[in-house]
Structure 1
Amino acid sequence: MALLAGAVALASFVHDFGPRPLRVSITGFLLIMSLAVTIGAYVRWDRTERALRENRSLPTDPLPKIMVAGVAIIIAGAAAMIFLAETGT
């Protein structure tokens, strides 16, 4: 939900902050991450539920690593946007 809220806020309330292409890129990436979390959480829940029912080991999941990498990219983009907004370029 936070990723989706960040995308909506960036698209709706922040119009004159940083270069427009960077804002649009970060907004799009936030939306993609939000969708990935939504789908990934369901898939993870389903696989875990089945493993518990069948008394198997819990499955591993790459989603947390993907999310950490995605959030790091968003932070880097936001830092660049802030830097460019503050320097006036």
Structure 2
Amino acid sequence: MKSDEHPEPIDYRFTLANERTFLAWIRTALGLLAGAVAVHTLVEPLGAAGLLRAAVLVCIAMAFLLSIGSYRRWCAVERAMRAGAALPGPGPAPILGAGMTVISVLAAAAVVLS
């Protein structure tokens, strides 16, 4: 083991895996944003506008939170790997799970009411 002045290099595969995970979260956020735009543009005029507007706003909020959360997680994982510490918890996954639950309920209610 090397001293603190010269830490052991991280295996590049772990750094690249961390980057791929970050990019996957960003793609998910982009998909949510695209879905929000599509629902707002194509579906909202058909009926149940209030529920669909709420679903659109939840999608936009989730995209925002996932973008920030994924960057923070990427940084935290990089720091932990460089320090040889335990990796942080689940990151933005609970945000996505909770948000998708809300969107599913709103979409189901919109279908039932229209």
TM-score by length of 2: 0.69
The reply to whether residue 16 of structure 1 matches residue 29 of structure 2 is: no
Name the Cα RMSD after superposition. 1.2
* Aligned counterparts of 1:18 and 1:77: Cα–Cα separation in 2: 13
Structure 1: gaps (5+ residues): none
Q: Out of 61, 82, 96, which is 1:67 matched to? A: 96
How many residues align structurally?
A: 85
Q: Out of 55, 59, 83, which is 1:30 matched to? A: 59
Q: Deviations over 1:50-79 (max 9, x none)?
A: 000111110113521221011011001001
* Aligned counterparts of 1:79 and 1:27: Cα–Cα separation in 2: 14
Matched residues, percent identical?
A: 35
Structure 2: gaps (5+ residues): 1-29
Deviates more, 1:10-19 or 1:69-78: 10-19
Q: Secondary structure at the match of 2:44?
A: coil
Counterpart amino acid of residue 7 in structure 1: A
Q: Secondary structure at the match of 1:15?
A: helix
Deviates more, 1:62-71 or 1:3-12: 62-71
Aligned partner of 2:71 in structure 1 is 42
Greater RCO, 1 or 2 (C-alpha within 8 Å, sep 6+):
1
In the alignment, is the contact (CA less than 8 A) between 1:51 and 1:58 conserved in 2?
yes
Structure whose alpha-carbon radius of gyration is higher:
2
